[in-house]
Amino acid sequence: MPNASKSSPEAIPLRPTQILRAEHRLIDEQLNVLSGALRQLGDRGPNPEVLDRIESVARYIDGEMAVHHKKEEDCLFPFLEEFLTSENLRLDARIADHEDLNIMNTKFKEALGECRELKSGKRASFTAQMLRGYGLYIVHLVREHLLKEDQILFLVAEEYLTANQEAEILKRFAAIEEAGAPRS
């Protein structure tokens, strides 16, 4: 998948929030892939092709999404702490969402592995239902999370960050991209 921050190198340097918003749209696309696959899982049971699509999204969560979260937690959020005080703007709630997603993705991958082993029978359809439940939870969690960042956190960042702070954040983004995705 192309990295959003490298999509137009000759253009005027992007602001950090533009990069993160562009990555959110790529995450949206993955959520659409997951929703579609989960619907088919409900109709057709644990079909291998549907499970492959689900697995590609689980890998994306561990890979590209983990890099996105690192950019937010290590680069952007520290600069926002002083501006965010009220309850619904709390950064730790957004970090908790990231952790929640990682925990759910671990359960999701376990259920996926079981679905691959159990081809048919009562236990197989139960496991497919579990997989579907975890997947729907992930779709809901991430959609809400993106909304809160796009419509609250990033607006605060765009309003208050100085040009120097933005330049420093972009430098940190580049270092994280260079290091690549952590492997779980």
| Alpha carbon distance 116, 71 (integer Å) | 34
| Comparison of 64 and 72: residue with beta carbon closer to Fe ion | 72
Residue 143 tokens read as 């959609």
CB of 16 to Fe ion, least distance (A): 11
- 8 Å CB contact between 41 and 131: yes
| Comparison of 105 and 127: residue with beta carbon closer to Fe ion | 105
Among 163, 178, 149, 161, which Cα is nearest to 12's? 163
CB of 27 to Fe ion, least distance (A): 7
CB of 10 to Fe ion, least distance (A): 26
CB of 29 to Fe ion, least distance (A): 14
Residue 85 sits at the vertex; the CA angle it makes with 81 and 86, to the nearest 5 degrees, is 145
| Comparison of 44 and 143: residue with beta carbon closer to Fe ion | 143
CB of 92 to Fe ion, least distance (A): 12
Beta carbons within 8 Å of 89's beta carbon, 6+ residues apart: 152, 153, 156
| Alpha carbon distance 76, 174 (integer Å) | 13
Residue 82 tokens read as 């002083």
| Comparison of 64 and 149: residue with beta carbon closer to Fe ion | 149
- 8 Å CB contact between 34 and 20: no
Please give the residue ranges that form the binding site for Fe ion (CB under 5 A).
72, 149
| Comparison of 126 and 160: residue with beta carbon closer to Fe ion | 160
Residue 182 tokens read as 């952590």
